[in-house]
């Protein structure tokens, strides 16, 4: 095995990390291993994981049940094409997803990643209206402060300010943006809260294929929590206008918000739903786009009679096998109690941050804790401060947030919160 210095030298020379430059690089920390809620660095330090590796490793790392699922599957086949073939892991997964998600969703398209699942959802919506003889319906209406992925169609429905629109504005599809919901989680939605959305929907209904939004929790676009009543009213408006509703549950799915899927807070069923991130417990990349019977049948009955998408690694048996094991583990282990315990720990542990200079707001929902700052963080500085204290937290913009694995112990969660308070206090004071 290479030493730390050699590994870092090669990484710095050739590896391009997400959302980084290849010059004036921020530090990276070589990892030797990860187990449970701990990340072990090659220099001997151990970090408490507060990020679940971008929200996907809900069972922690190196879980024996998930490890065994992969060992068992690889003995029979690692991969086989999904075109014209099928297999037990994929069939088992689509069966589980149909059983767990809102009742109207009956068909599952397995995808490579969350961004791809959003691309698939948008293509489904457009092809649905094409099949209905409505080719003019090709645009999307979405909410500001949203995030849906990094590929082109997905970028086009991310927040136009906090996203990447200014770089790619000449080539991105031009979508419509309603204001981010002002009605907070737990509050009712008044007519004025949804009036701008309603106006855009009805003024542009003849060109709208779908509305896409993140239910209840807006993720990387702002980490905001909004009213379930708002979501319920969006569902009603879409139905009245004949516009499909796409629910992006990539970040919120599988319990993170306190419900298995955030749509459950509003008791609604979208026409199309995307899931990913925690689907495999953080082991392999996999996502899915689920569609209603109406959407699937209409696309299939129209020209050209098939849905026009088909990834090479669609339905990969290894990924499907570990996804099945992850879902079964989640349901068997009592995830609701775990998430409630984390929510209580976050509420207690992050409460002191409300009194710190430079803190705008502290908000908690499920296993999500967010501290919003008045000014953006300096990444290389704040990241070092967290690592030096034995904690892995990766803020962005003005947001310092915690999304730990569901299996985190109370003392580790308390430590995460305490370090967050310390680091924010230090950075705010200069």
Contacts of 50 (CB under 8 A, 6+ apart): 391, 392, 393, 402, 403, 404, 416, 420
Q: How far is CA 187 from the centre of its chain?
A: 24
Distance of CA 106 to the CA centre of its chain: 22
| 4 CB-near residues (< 8 Å, 6+ apart) | 30, 42, 43
Backbone angles phi, psi at 40, to 5 degrees: -100, 120
CA 221/CA 182 separation, integer angstroms: 15
Alpha-carbon gap, residue 129 to 139, rounded angstroms = 11
- Map tokens 């580790």 to a residue: 412
Q: What is the DSSP string of 163-228?
A: SSHHHHTTTS---EEEPPP-SBTTS---HHHHHHHHHHHHHTGGGEEEEEE-SSEE-TTT-EEB-H
Q: CA 134, CA 209: separation in Å to the nearest integer?
A: 9
Q: Two tokens at 321?
A: 């096998």
- Give the 3-state secondary structure of residue 326: helix
Region at 55 (left for phi over 0; alpha for psi -120 to 50; beta for the rest): left
Count of helices and strands (H, E) across the chain: 14, 16
Rounded Cα distance between 360 and 207, Å, is 39
Q: What DSSP element (H or E) covers 73? A: helix 64-74
Instruction: Look at phi and psi of residue 377 and say left if phi exceeds 0, alpha if psi is from -120 to 50, else beta.
Output: beta
Active-site positions read 19, 147, 248, 277
């Amino acid at each position: 095995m290479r030493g730390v210095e050699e590994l870092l030298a090669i990484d710095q020379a050739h590896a391009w990390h997400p959302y980084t430059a290849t010059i004036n690089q921020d530090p990276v920390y070589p990892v030797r291993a990860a187990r449970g809620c701990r990340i072990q660095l090659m220099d001997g330090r151990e970090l408490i994981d507060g990020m679940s590796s971008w929200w996907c490793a809900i069972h922690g790392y190196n879980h024996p049940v998930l490890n065994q699922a992969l060992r068992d599957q690889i003995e029979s086949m690692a991969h086989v094409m999904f075109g014209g073939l099928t297999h037990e892991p994929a069939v088992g997964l689509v069966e589980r997803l149909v059983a767990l998600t809102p009742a109207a969703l009956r068909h599952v398209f397995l995808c490579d990643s969350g961004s791809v699942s959003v691309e698939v959802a948008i293509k489904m919506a457009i092809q649905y209206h094409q099949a209905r003889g409505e080719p003019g319906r090709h645009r999307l209406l979405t909410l500001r402060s949203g995030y849906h992925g990094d590929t082109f169609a997905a970028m086009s429905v991310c927040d136009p300010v906090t996203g990447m629109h200014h770089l790619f504005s000449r080539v991105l599809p031009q979508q419509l943006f309603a204001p981010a919901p002002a009605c907070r989680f737990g509050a009712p939605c008044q007519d004025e809260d949804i009036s701008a959305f309603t106006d855009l929907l009805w003024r542009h209904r003849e060109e709208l294929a779908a509305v896409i939004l993140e239910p209840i929790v807006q993720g990387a676009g702002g980490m905001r929590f909004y009213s379930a009543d708002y979501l319920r009213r969006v569902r009603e408006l879409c139905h009245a206008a004949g516009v499909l509703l796409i629910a992006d549950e990539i970040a919120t799915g599988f319990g993170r918000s306190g419900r298995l899927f955030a749509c459950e807070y509003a008791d609604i069923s979208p026409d199309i739903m995307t899931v990913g991130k925690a689907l495999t417990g953080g082991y392999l990349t996999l996502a899915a786009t689920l569609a209603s019977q109406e959407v699937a049948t209409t696309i299939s009955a129209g020209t050209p009679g098939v849905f026009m998408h088909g990834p090479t690694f669609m339905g990969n048996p290894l990924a499907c096998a570990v996804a099945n094991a992850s879902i079964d583990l989640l349901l068997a282990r009592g995830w609701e109690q775990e998430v409630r315990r984390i929510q209580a720990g976050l509420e207690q542990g992050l409460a002191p941050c409300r009194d710190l200079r430079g803190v705008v707001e502290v908000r908690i929902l499920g296993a999500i804790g967010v501290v919003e700052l008045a000014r953006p963080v300096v990444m290389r500085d704040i990241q070092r401060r967290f690592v030096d204290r034995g904690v892995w937290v990766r803020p962005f913009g003005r947001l310092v947030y915690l999304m730990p694995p569901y299996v985190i112990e109370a003392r580790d969660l308390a430590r995460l919160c305490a370090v967050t308070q310390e680091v924010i206090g230090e950075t705010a004071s200069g």
